[in-house]
Chain A
Amino acid sequence: MKLVIDESRCKGCNLCVLVCPYGIFREGTELNSRGIVSPVLDRPERCTNCRLQALYGRMLCGICHMICPDQAISWVEEKPFEPHRVEVEF
């Protein structure tokens, strides 16, 4: 699972920064296209729900998902070991 912030819904209230026990959310610094400073993710693979939801088969923690007033935080499925295309510039 992968943690994502829906930039089209986030209003930049930084409540997720306050509640995340791992400190995954950091206050952003740059305005996005809607003029909102949305939080940035700091190593989101540390999130317990990302790592262990498939193992336990239920929602773990999930405080950021519940407290987000704009329903912007969610988890998306990702295929295991997706091959990434790496471009090397010479």
Chain B
Amino acid sequence: MIAPDWLREDRLPHIYCTGCGNGTVINCTLAAVEEMGWKRDETVFVSGIGCSSRAPGYILTDSLHTTHGRALAFATGVKMARPEFNVVVFTGDGDLAAIGGNHFIHACRRNVDMTVVCMNNHIYGMTGGQGSPTTPPGAISTTTPYGMSEPAFDLAELAVAAGANYVARWTSYHVKELTKAITAGMRTPGFAFIEARTQCPTNYGRHNKLRTVPAMIEHIRSHAMLIEKRDRLVREGRPVPEDIFTIGELVRRNRPAMGVRR
């Protein structure tokens, strides 16, 4: 249940397009914060630049809207200066993977105690639909009019390899699971990375024959496969479809974390 007193009611309705998945991810994050019972003046939301990074503007806490890609650097600073604060970072795929990629892997390596919610909508939505590092191969965007020819970045696997303590991936269709994953990430000391695949019907769906919001959600849902099912298929030697992405909890471990409250 999302608490209405965590939203800036006077700023609503927000600027997101019709059916944008970012609003759903805000709901899930607020539900997780509510479940954790965090106080409002001990919680900081940090964001960079992009559609997803507008999110802290609608949440009634202290927040930082920082430069493009550098949200994790600012959040590390907040955590180092005030280790008693709970830091949540909202970021998008272009913000985190493209321009802030180096900050991302080093925040994972240092294992800074924060929760990063990445709203991965496969495209640069705010600037007009340019292809991002997570655009799937073959997808059409304004900078890849003949279809994306490069392989896409798998952000969750990257966080696992770089050393984050908790990594999960869900979609904006799986709201209950996403809320549980964000709560588990907030409980875990150290770097928690939750990738939420969201729909962008305006700039991604329009170019890829997924014009309506239910079509876009249905596309995401049908291409998601639970990681347990993928592992079972691999174990049994059965073919795994090429165009799927795995969802579920990728890793939960206990590496030494930086900035944990004493």
Inter-chain contact B13/A66, CB cutoff 8 Å: no
A69 within 8 A of B: yes
Q: Which residues of B contact A15 (CB under 8 A)?
A: 19, 24, 213-214, 217
Given contacts A59-B1, A66-B179, A69-B20, contact A9 B217 (CB under 8 A): no
For window 60-75 of A, CB contacts with B under 8 Å fall at 62-63, 65-72, 74
Please, which residues of chain A bring their CB within 8 A of the CB of B23?
68-71
Q: Per-residue 0/1 for A33-68: is the Cβ within 8 Å of any B Cβ (1 yes, 0 no)?
A: 000000000000000000000000001001101111
Residues of A within 8 A of B121 (CB): none
Residues of A within 8 A of B14 (CB): 70
Least CB separation from A72: chain B residue: B13
A32 at the interface (CB under 8 A from B): no
A-B CB proximity, top 4 nearest: A69-B23, A13-B19, A66-B175, A11-B18
What are 24 sample pairs from A and B whose C-beta atoms fall under 8 A apart?
A11-B19, A13-B19, A14-B212, A14-B213, A15-B19, A15-B24, A15-B214, A18-B218, A63-B175, A65-B1, A65-B27, A66-B2, A66-B28, A66-B31, A66-B175, A67-B27, A67-B173, A68-B24, A68-B27, A69-B20, A69-B22, A70-B23, A71-B7, A71-B12
